[in-house]
Structure 1
Amino acid sequence: MNSGQRRILLNCDMGESFGAWKMGDDSHAMPLVDQANLACGFHASDPLTMQRTVDLAVQHDVAIGAHPAYPDLVGFGRRHLACSPEEVRAMVLYQIGALDAFCRAAGTRVAYVKPHGALYNDLVRDDALLSAVLDACAHYRKGLPLMVLALADNSRELRLADEADVPLMFEAFADRAYQSDGQLAPRRLAGAVHHDPERILAQALAIARGEAFPDQDGKPLRLNADSLCVHGDNPESLAVLRRLRAQLDTL
């Protein structure tokens, strides 16, 4: 979707607190982003957190994305679960609907869907699961976009999305290390998450400008992305978001 004629969007995973446990600094991060990916209760969040985060996004005119996951609160949705495509379709529909209820109550609606964690990564490798999520988007609302990982080659994703009649948004990450094919380096590996603010900023700006940046082996990688993610649970996120917002606004 990125035509090269418009600025890249900035997104962040938010609404990931749960009860008494606080995750991220949503109140300060929300004014800095264009899109907020809000947890829907399966990997994080609870009804009150969802309601408050939706209200915060509306207050700052930020597009709201449903951030569905495998049912894995303990593992924060980062563990791969053996769910069938039928189960994945149902759980994604369930989570979109839950978040959209709060959106509708606040006078807005879910603008897109971005799967979380292990589910997001599984879609890169499993056609049946990707088709299940696309089907959930298509049947929830015609034209509801799905946000997927920008790879060196996204022809597979484009083909399956075209068959499902679902628009795609391609996402890249400012604070994650990449493999040569554009897949994210597994979190279990050292260096999979960048913590140096200068490195995060440099990678983000390279992606935004359509320039190459180093993959995990130091080789050049170029991605075509519509939206750029900075993780809200990264301690460096807020400082990087402020600097990145200021620089992206000048591009």
Structure 2
Amino acid sequence: MDLNSDLGESLGAWRMGDDDAMLGIVSSANVACGFHAGDAAGILRTLRAAARQGVTVGAHVAYPDLAGFGRRNMDVASADLVADVIYQIGALKGLAAVAGTTVRYVKPHGALYNTIAHDERQARDVIEAIRAIDASLYLVGLAGSPLLDWAQESGLRTVAEAFADRAYTPNGTLVSRREKGAVLHDANEVAARMLRLATEGVVTAIDGSTVRIEADSICVHGDSPGAVEMAREVRALLERSGVRVQSFVDAPVAQAHS
């Protein structure tokens, strides 16, 4: 099972998360590309740290929304969205080359992630952008979403993702951050949920029902309170229970959908 986190999100004097600590725990790092968070110097530091730790790097592309941290919905024209995604991946590729690592996948951020999970027009724009700049990149998306089918039909390799610190609805979607109980904070509870996900393929939804989630990667948000403790507990419990934590790019071919 892959364990990932959103990193490189500090901006100037504004510090977000603890990248160095998180890079000692996760197997994949979704690195900001400057559109929702992150500045060039900070992103480069994160990439260099990822290279030192041997952590797989992905481009955490987003809407152009620094003020809203990329969490505001945007009706972006196709030409703009395609170019924006190409621009972000290209920028991260350049910084990664200097840092001694490579970009191996793309994981959209925030509102873009949620929108393209079901919005076919914007989803195909993102898919087009990835294929245009580097068709070998994996696309990480919400487990069970139509996005993964559209991407696979286009020839992209996909990775289905679950969220450690987010509550699920009975139909397998994420509970909106605007609703009570959407974000989980108890590290032990979160770790137990993710062990069940990894071994049984199910999680308990917010209403107490059981929902099936088939995922290849687990995300712990780097900006969540206690994120490092949570990620550390998730990894420790998985490994104590015999679940190997490794990046999907290192996993058997059958694990990542193609």
Q: TM-score category by the smaller chain?
A: over 0.9
- Give 1:159's aligned residue: 149
Report Cα offsets for 1:144-185 as digits up to 9, x if no partner. 11100002xx4x334312332111111000100111221111
- Give 2:256's aligned residue: none
Shift of 1:67: 0.2
Gaps of 5+ in 1: 1-7
Runs of 4 or more, structure 1, over 4 Å off, are none
Q: CA RMSD in A?
A: 1.2
Letter in 2 for 1:190: K
- Give 1:182's aligned residue: 172
Instruction: Classify the secondary structure of the residue corresponding to 2:136.
Output: coil
Contact persistence 2:148–2:160 (CA under 8 A) = no
Contact persistence 1:18–1:45 (CA under 8 A) = yes
TM-score, normalization by structure 1: 0.92
The answer to whether residue 3 in structure 2 is matched with residue 13 in structure 1 is: no
Letter in 2 for 1:165: G
> Alignment partner for residue 227 of structure 2, among 214, 237, 246?
237
> Alignment partner for residue 28 of structure 1, among 21, 27, 43?
21
User: For structure 1, which segment, 185-194 or 136-145, has the greater mean C-alpha deviation from structure 2 after superposition?
Assistant: 136-145
Gaps of 5+ in 2: 244-258
- Give 1:207's aligned residue: 197
Letter in 1 for 2:88: Q
Shift of 1:99: 0.7
- Give 1:124's aligned residue: 117
Shift of 1:73: 0.7
Shift of 1:84: 1.8
User: For structure 1, which segment, 66-75 or 241-250, has the greater mean C-alpha deviation from structure 2 after superposition?
Assistant: 241-250
Task: Please list, as runs of the form range in 1=range in 2, the aligned pairs for 1:32-181 lying within 5 A after superposition.
Answer: 32-151=25-144, 154=145, 156-181=146-171
Contact persistence 2:185–2:226 (CA under 8 A) = yes
- Give 2:217's aligned residue: 227
- What is the CA–CA distance in structure 1 between the aligned matches of 2:120 and 2:96, rounded to whole Å? 30
Instruction: Classify the secondary structure of the residue corresponding to 2:73.
Output: coil
- What is the CA–CA distance in structure 2 between the aligned matches of 1:125 and 1:225, rounded to whole Å? 17
Contact persistence 1:210–1:224 (CA under 8 A) = no
Aligned residues: 241
> Alignment partner for residue 187 of structure 2, among 168, 172, 197?
197
Contact persistence 2:164–2:220 (CA under 8 A) = yes
Shift of 1:133: 0.7
- Give 2:249's aligned residue: none
Shift of 1:206: 1.3
Letter in 2 for 1:131: R
TM-score, normalization by structure 2: 0.90
- What is the CA–CA distance in structure 1 between the aligned matches of 2:18 and 2:99, rounded to whole Å? 21
